[in-house]
């Protein structure tokens, strides 16, 4: 099967480490701050060929870290060893993280919670992603009740013509759910910029190191 690396890019309210039952002591945040090695942040899962990088401890500047040169360098390194790099991001409506990543990665898949996101949230999310020049592959509606499955027709019809034959190397799962507990709305965070390397920076591994054991 395809080798996949799933990155928890929601560094404010992460959940993937609990879902997969892995440690969150180090992860994307510590990796981007140069506080750990790549191998320290990789978490093997019970699913074959699936490796997870958890969010790590909550940083003071998650948007800056995601928009840094280090983030792009990390993705380029990971792409050498896997077939697909997936990101799980926070709500696009609440934070700018999703559109920021979507502006330079290969593709985006919107994720909408049925009967939970306020009406119009999905179209607002779509518009924000389009403004970021994102390549939207389609939409996933989760938490759907079986009796309401017909309401998904709109999404399947709307995106059916845009689906490519193959998934690009790097893709993003952008949430459209509303998050009232968020501390900063989209657009209120500082403009992304390169993060300077700390003096005690941990040198990343070379591209030859493979996160997937033979």
Kindly write down the DSSP assignment for every residue of 54-116, as one continuous string. ---SPPS-HHHHHTSHHHHHHHHHHHTT-SEEEEEEEETTT-SHHHHHHTTSSEEEEEEETTT
184 in a structural domain = no
Asked whether residue 117 is domain-assigned, the answer is yes
64, part of any domain: yes
pTM: 0.70
What's the number of domains the chain is made of?
A: 1
Higher pLDDT, 181 or 211: 211
Assigned domain for 211 exists: no
Give per-residue pLDDT as tens, 37-64.
999 999 999 999 999 999 999 999 999 9
CATH code, 167:
3.40.50.300
Residue 98: inside a domain, yes or no? yes
Is residue 198 in some structural domain?
no
By three-state DSSP, how is residue 172 classified? strand
Q: Which domain holds residue 144?
A: 4-175
- pLDDT > 50? residue 89: yes
Is 209 within a domain? no
């Amino acid at each position: 099967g395809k080798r996949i690396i799933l990155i928890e890019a929601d560094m404010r309210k992460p959940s993937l480490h609990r879902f997969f039952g892995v440690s969150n002591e180090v992860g994307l945040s510590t990796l981007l701050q140069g506080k750990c090695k790549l191998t320290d942040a990789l978490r093997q899962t019970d699913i074959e060929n699936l490796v997870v990088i958890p969010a790590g401890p909550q940083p003071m500047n998650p948007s800056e870290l995601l928009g840094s040169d280090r983030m792009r360098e990390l993705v380029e390194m990971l792409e050498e060893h896997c077939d697909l790099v997936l990101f799980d991001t926070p709500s696009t409506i609440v934070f700018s993280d999703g559109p920021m990543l979507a502006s330079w990665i290969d593709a985006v898949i919107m994720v909408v919670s049925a009967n939970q996101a306020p009406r119009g949230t999905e179209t607002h999310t779509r518009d924000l992603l389009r403004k970021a020049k994102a390549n939207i592959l389609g939409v996933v509606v989760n938490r759907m009740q079986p009796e309401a499955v017909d309401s998904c027709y709109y999404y399947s019809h709307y995106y059916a013509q845009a689906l490519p034959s193959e998934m690009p190397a790097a893709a993003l799962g952008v949430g459209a759910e509303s998050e009232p507990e968020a501390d900063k709305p989209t657009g209120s965070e500082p403009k992304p910029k390169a993060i300077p390397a700390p003096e005690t920076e941990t040198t990343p591994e070379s591209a030859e190191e493979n996160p997937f054991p033979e």
